[in-house]
Structure 1
């Protein structure tokens, strides 16, 4: 069985609204392993590196503001097909499109100003996961 790793973040809205335990429960119910977990306050540098493809976009400042609005729970999760499976568990990025039963479908919301608070981030590929893990867990090898 090939193990892969993914970075999963419970974003500030997920932390504020008490969804950390539910996200962890869903991960563990699928028999994935949480290899590292910590609570962090995101720095501008971490966010710019994490969202490097979005930094020049006009909406990036609102992402940065939201991601610095409260603590984040960062996790390294491993298991077979974790990247693909957790993305399905998370649901569509836009909460309005996320199916009930997914994390975003159950807990996320879209605000009036077009701001999206969608509870979790998950790596979109194995390569992205390894890049993102280095940003949030620089102590990991």
Structure 2
């Protein structure tokens, strides 16, 4: 099982899309093993987006991500990082394929609803930024045997 981090951004929360988006991940077979709502502080934003802090457009990003509540979550499942990235679609909603989350709900590069970790190292770093180890509640749903073969672990 692989874990990944997602962040339902302020535009997602304000547009009342959280339930629809979490439902899509669950319907795909991913388990939500941690979730919390919070308002990201400028300090946390700088840690989360450390690779972008020196870029000229960073102040706009920080203003957006700290501008309202977000939902941070950890998803677990087979190839969770790739599955989530594929489900999100292209970063710019205008370029995202129909059927993806951004393709269905976004028409912006920045206001693209959901952040998803781009690799195992990023997932581990981002999960640790938002959650303590004891806040992760891994479980195996009883329906698992009907969603994938027993040797797909």
Establish whether TM, by shorter chain, passes 0.5: yes
Q: CA deviation at 1:50?
A: 0.7
Q: Does 1:140 pair with 2:138?
A: no
**Rg (Cα) greater in structure:** 2
Q: Does 1:127 pair with 2:121?
A: yes
The structure in which a higher percent of residues are strand is: 1
Separation of aligned partners in 2, 1:75 and 1:97: 25
Matches within 5 A, 1:87-102: 87-102=85-100
Separation of aligned partners in 2, 1:71 and 1:62: 17
Structure 1 residue matching 2:7: 3-state secondary structure:
strand
Separation of aligned partners in 1, 2:12 and 2:129: 20
Separation of aligned partners in 2, 1:28 and 1:135: 23
Which of 113, 118, 121 matches 2:112?
Answer: 118
Runs of 4+ in 1 over 2 A off after TM superposition: none
Partner of 1:47: 45
Structure 1 stretches lacking a partner, 5+ long: none
Structure 2 stretches lacking a partner, 5+ long: 135-153
Q: Does 1:77 pair with 2:59?
A: no
Normalised TM-score (structure 2): 0.85
